[in-house]
Amino acid sequence: MSIVFSRIRAFHAVAEHGGFTAASRVLNVGQPTLTIQVRELEESYGVELLVRKSRSVELTEAGAALFEITRGIMKFCDEAHELLDAHGQSTKGHLRLATVGPFHATEILAAFNRDHPGVQISTLLGNSERTLRHIIDFEAEVAILAEVPDDSRVTMLPYRTHRVVVFVNGDHPWFNRKSIRLRELADQRFVLRERGSTTRRAFEAAIAKEGLKINPVFEIESREGVWKAVERGLGISVVADFEFVPHPNLRALEIQDHAIRTQYSIAYHKDRAHSPLIKAFIHTVREMKAGFAKTSATRPRTGGK
């Protein structure tokens, strides 16, 4: 079994790093040894996993399928080391967070870092569809995403809910208003994120439900790009209310007759629920949610007759 694992580990390193030379540096194993291990793996099962080129390798169909599996295997090995290293000690390791944006990620990571300063943290930014893919493919330990279809491989923990608002620039006739009605948006020029965007999907679903059509004139695969386009007067757009950053030339408007909401969740792969890093992250999230609930319960209510 140890011989087979060594061969699989050799193949995985070569596939992950794009060649035998790079893989030998990462594993600290001689390149000839890796070459022999991968060749023996191929010969043992009568398959071709790699197409050798002058300075790189290319995965065959069988190699690509095996690489999908070995990514999970190697991640579990990393978690085994983390578990043993963390037993009776402070949590350590490398936490990769996939997220749809920096807003929730920043507040959670700040709290997590205070509790676990020994953990290295990196982030992967993308829309909700890409973020979910990072979890499924074992490319991230945890994710912050919204409004994605249920997946039997992934655990979703509800985190926070936000309203979708419209925002316009200073030259727009609506700039001095506080709200608009959904039907008023039908004739407006829109700058929108790509189709995998959470906010865009929620907004377009509400528009379609009312039998309305909007006029999308620009599609930009960047939150910052959308903001800049609206600021320059190329159109108006939509954003989750918590993501709107006050700006002298931009104004957020509530949609007064429709509450379009997005539900943000914390996600992780079910096969990795035992990971000490993931457990620590979820513990931080649950403590933060308890704090939100306590603050909401003690906040004074205002109103009148």
User: What average pLDDT does this structure show over 7-20?
Assistant: 91
The pLDDT score that the predictor gives to residue 56 is 82
The pLDDT score that the predictor gives to residue 244 is 86
The pLDDT score that the predictor gives to residue 296 is 57
Q: What is the average pLDDT score of the chain?
A: 87
pLDDT digits (tens, 9 = 90+) for 251-279: 999 999 888 988 889 999 998 888 888 99
> Architecture of domain 160-262 in CATH?
3-Layer(aba) Sandwich (3.40)
For residues 154 and 100, which has the higher predicted lDDT (pLDDT)? 154
Give every CB contact of residue 162 below 8 A, 6+ residues apart in sequence.
240, 241, 242, 243, 261, 262, 264
From CA 22, how far away is CA 297, in angstroms rounded?
56
For 125-134, b/e burial (b = at least 16 CB within 10 A) is: ebbbbbbbbb
Encoding tokens for residue 235? 């159109």
β pairing state of 142-146 and 93-99:
parallel
Query: Taking a C-beta distance cutoff of 8 angstroms, is the pair 23, 16 a contact?
Result: yes
Q: Which residue has the tokens 């009605």?
A: 181
Indicate if the pLDDT at residue 300 is higher than 80.
no
The pLDDT score that the predictor gives to residue 11 is 92
Indicate if the pLDDT at residue 88 is higher than 70.
no
DSSP letter at 161 equals E
Indicate if the pLDDT at residue 1 is higher than 50.
no
The pLDDT score that the predictor gives to residue 303 is 46
Q: What is the DSSP string of 206-238?
A: HHHHTT---EEEEE-S-HHHHHHHHHTTS-BEE
Topology (CATH level 3) of domain 2-84: Arc Repressor Mutant, subunit A (1.10.10)
Query: Which ranges in the chain are annotated with CATH 3.40.190.10?
Result: 91-158+263-294
From CA 296, how far away is CA 209, in angstroms rounded?
32
Across 80-84, 152-156, 266-270, least confident range? 80-84
* pLDDT > 90: percent of the chain: 46
The pLDDT score that the predictor gives to residue 148 is 81
From CA 290, how far away is CA 294, in angstroms rounded?
6
What letter represents residue 286's amino acid? R
User: What average pLDDT does this structure show over 170-197?
Assistant: 91
User: What average pLDDT does this structure show over 75-85?
Assistant: 74
pLDDT digits (tens, 9 = 90+) for 117-153: 889 999 998 888 889 999 999 899 999 988 788 899 9
Encoding tokens for residue 50? 């790699």
Encoding tokens for residue 28? 């600290």
The pLDDT score that the predictor gives to residue 87 is 56
The pLDDT score that the predictor gives to residue 61 is 93
Beta strands in 5-133 (DSSP E): 50-52, 57-59, 93-99, 119-125
Query: Taking a C-beta distance cutoff of 8 angstroms, is the pair 105, 120 a contact?
Result: no
What letter represents residue 233's amino acid? G
The pLDDT score that the predictor gives to residue 305 is 38
Give every CB contact of residue 180 below 8 A, 6+ residues apart in sequence.
166, 174, 253, 254, 255, 256
Indicate if the pLDDT at residue 13 is higher than 80.
yes
Encoding tokens for residue 78? 């990393």
Indicate if the pLDDT at residue 90 is higher than 60.
no
Indicate if the pLDDT at residue 20 is higher than 80.
yes
242 — pLDDT class (breaks 50, 70, 90): confident
Query: Which ranges in the chain are annotated with CATH 3.40.190.290?
Result: 160-262
Query: Which ranges in the chain are annotated with CATH 1.10.10.10?
Result: 2-84
User: What average pLDDT does this structure show over 88-94?
Assistant: 67
User: What average pLDDT does this structure show over 61-73?
Assistant: 90
Encoding tokens for residue 123? 């982030």
Which class is domain 91-158+263-294?
alpha beta
The pLDDT score that the predictor gives to residue 304 is 42
Q: Of the candidates 100, 96, 164, 95, which has an alpha carbon nearest to the alpha carbon of residue 132? A: 100
298 — pLDDT class (breaks 50, 70, 90): low
Query: Taking a C-beta distance cutoff of 8 angstroms, is the pair 102, 58 a contact?
Result: no
Give every CB contact of residue 287 below 8 A, 6+ residues apart in sequence.
111
